[in-house]
Amino acid sequence: MSAKEIEISIAIFPLENLTMNQDADIFCRSFYVDLITEFSRFRQFKIFPADSAKHKDVHTTYSIRGSYRFLQNTLRVNSQLINNERSQLAWAEQYEFDKDALVAVEEKLLKRIVETMQDHLNSDLLAYMSKKPVVSISAYEYWLQGMEELRKGTVEADERARDQFQRAMETDPLNSLAYSGMSLTYFNEWSCQLWERWDVSQQGAFDWAKKAIDLDPHNHVAAMILGRVYLYEAEYDIAEHYLRKALQLNPTDTENLVQIASCFVFLGYIVEAEALYQKVLQYNTQRAEQFYYIGAFIAFEQGNFETCIKLSNSTQLAWVDSHCILAAAYFEMGDQAGMEKSWHRYLYEFKTKILKDERFPGNREAIQWVINVSPYRGHTHQRRFWEHMAGKETAVAPRNFLRTTQPLLNFFFREDDGWRISYENHSFRISDAKGINDIARLLSMPGELIHCSELMGSMVKMRGEQVIDEKAKKSYKARLLSLQEDLSLAEAHNNYQLSAVLQKEYDDILDMLSNSMGLNGRTRKSDDPIEKVRSAVTWRIRNSIKKIATIHPSLGKHLSNSIKTGIFCSYRPEKNVLWHLEKE
């Protein structure tokens, strides 16, 4: 049975009006549309709006239904998750709000229902997996089983999780979640288990996440993992880009929000981290305690040491260095006994989980490890405690990151209504413009000829007299291909003199073709309107390069020397440059 035949599908129906009062009809309609939008973020499900779900040939796995009614000044909303295959109610909940606060509570209700329903849908699927024949298990259900194993937090469970994710990939080789799940198994080992295999685990987390996001650029889990990996390599701009992308792609997945919140603390965005943490608590009122360790970390960096201690002592601490942070909080509060107790607990955790031998670590070694694995971009309240325990020399020593990926120093990232660009370790932001989009397109296809009409996104009718015959055109294009090969060989052998001669011939032919050829490679004619397209594209590219040059002169010079404009545009860098560009 194919993965398509056993995919998880959900039909979403509008809330049913059980009252004669029509005041909330607009709430009902907008809530229905927003619910479809929010569930569409979970790309593992196929979503059917009510009209589509009513068709005879559509059979969905689940249905989401609900109703509302007014009771005096109270709005009562009921929501239900129905398993259509078993004709059973999988989950139901009732919410009550003040009628006058309808608009204010709509978003809160929406997020609560989506998050709660996601949890119960997963629980319902897991409960019946053992009873289903193997051939009817979907890639998503294998993924769910793998995620359940991951939550156990052991090396053995990670191995079992890999087996489930591998089955998911075999069931559906294009299932992006399976690849991000595989990444999470290495992410677990890298961040909290196998310190002795840090480089292998970090590389595994990175590689699998890259495969996941290449398959699906909207995979928020993969984006979060990439953000975290880059954070720990001190590539802060790239890290922030991926973390914010993960947040934008799915702002209701609490596991995602928790990870992003902790990363935002390291980046110095404490207020945003606190806001994300509060969302997690709102969406998971019954499981709030398991997230207290994140709240404690945030409170510590806010300088709220008493709150940090209270939250830390109210839950099981998840990180090896959580006890070190707790000891630092006691230190700031002047509680010597609490500090020593937490510090000794941290030394035991460090010896057991990191060193994994019989010797007991010294203070300086234990503190240096915390420094190495704490990728703060700037200030941290831990600094005073580090110096107290191990001396200023140790605390200010350079962090010893174990790099496993090639640093990506040059990138073009789309960012909301603009672009985040980095070149030679200098990052900056620039507003969106057509010329910037053209440049990004050219950078993604180095050495290739792109017709100006492709960049313009339009087709133009041709008229007039031909400027160059077809035979000559074919000859020139063949020579360009030959010159590209010759240039590569000359550069590989460091023959700069020959490279300069070949490059000049290449540029001359390219300029000549640009002035003589029209749409789709057709010969341009003397009064061809394609000239207007060429002129417009050339102007906007050159104008954008000028704007870039005012911010980053070195990049402006590089782009000016490397980008050729005309009927055909191209990017041929004067030196080898590795660009990191996202897929749309």
**What's the per-residue H, E or C state across 246-302?**
HHHHCCCCHHHHHHHHHHHHHHCCHHHHHHHHHHHHHHCHHHHHHHHHHHHHHHHHH
Q: What's the whole-number mean pLDDT along residues 238-242?
A: 88
Report the alpha-carbon distance of residue 216 to residue 178 in Å, rounded: 11
Report the alpha-carbon distance of residue 581 to residue 578 in Å, rounded: 10
pLDDT value of position 24: 62
pLDDT value of position 99: 64
Question: Dihedral sign, CA of 306, 307, 313, 318?
Answer: negative
pLDDT value of position 196: 52
Task: Using the predicted structure, report yes or no on whether residue 413 has a pLDDT greater than 70.
Answer: yes
Output phi, psi for 403, to 5 deg. Answer: -70, 135
Report the alpha-carbon distance of residue 206 to residue 378 in Å, rounded: 24
pTM of the predicted protein model: 0.62
In order of 411, 545, 575, the CA distances from 549 in angstroms are 16, 6, 18
Q: In the chain, count of helices (H) and strands (E)?
A: 24, 13
Residue type present at position 232: Y
Q: Angle 176-192/220-232 helices, nearest 10 degrees? A: 30
- 37-51, 171-185, 231-245, 399-413: range with lowest mean pLDDT: 399-413
End-to-end CA distance of the chain: 31
DSSP 523-545: BPBTT-THHHHHHHHHHHHHHHH
pLDDT value of position 545: 92
Task: Using the predicted structure, report yes or no on whether residue 317 has a pLDDT greater than 70.
Answer: no
Task: Using the predicted structure, report yes or no on whether residue 576 has a pLDDT greater than 80.
Answer: no
Edge-to-edge order in the sheet of strand 563-564: 450-451, 568-571, 563-564
pLDDT tens profile 38-48:
777 776 777 78
Q: Are strands 88-98 and 74-83 parallel, antiparallel or unpaired?
A: antiparallel
Domains of the chain: 4-113 (3.40.50.10070), 411-581 (no CATH)
pLDDT value of position 476: 65
pLDDT tens profile 141-187:
888 888 888 877 677 888 888 888 888 888 888 888 888 888 888 87
Report the alpha-carbon distance of residue 494 to residue 339 in Å, rounded: 62
Give residue 518's pLDDT band: very low, low, confident or very high (50, 70, 90). very low
Is the CB of residue 218 less than 8 Å from the CB of residue 249? yes
Classify residue 520 as left (phi > 0), alpha (psi -120 to 50) or beta.
Answer: left
Q: What's the whole-number mean pLDDT along residues 313-335?
A: 89
Most confident among 111-125, 171-185, 414-428, 493-507 (mean pLDDT): 171-185
Higher pLDDT, 460 or 379: 379
Output phi, psi for 566, to 5 deg. Answer: 155, -155
Please enumerate in sequence order all residues whose Cβ is within 8 A of that of 456, keeping only pairs 6 or more positions apart, or say none. 533, 536, 537
Report the alpha-carbon distance of residue 38 to residue 49 in Å, rounded: 12
Q: Are strands 418-423 and 411-415 parallel, antiparallel or unpaired?
A: antiparallel
Q: What's the whole-number mean pLDDT along residues 58-83?
A: 80
* Token duo for residue 249: 């792609």
Report the alpha-carbon distance of residue 201 to residue 372 in Å, rounded: 16
Task: Using the predicted structure, report yes or no on whether residue 468 has a pLDDT greater than 70.
Answer: no
Give residue 454's pLDDT band: very low, low, confident or very high (50, 70, 90). confident
pLDDT value of position 40: 73
pLDDT value of position 403: 45
Residue 443 burial (CB < 10 Å; 0-12/13-18/19+)? buried
Report the alpha-carbon distance of residue 368 to residue 376 in Å, rounded: 14
pLDDT value of position 526: 46
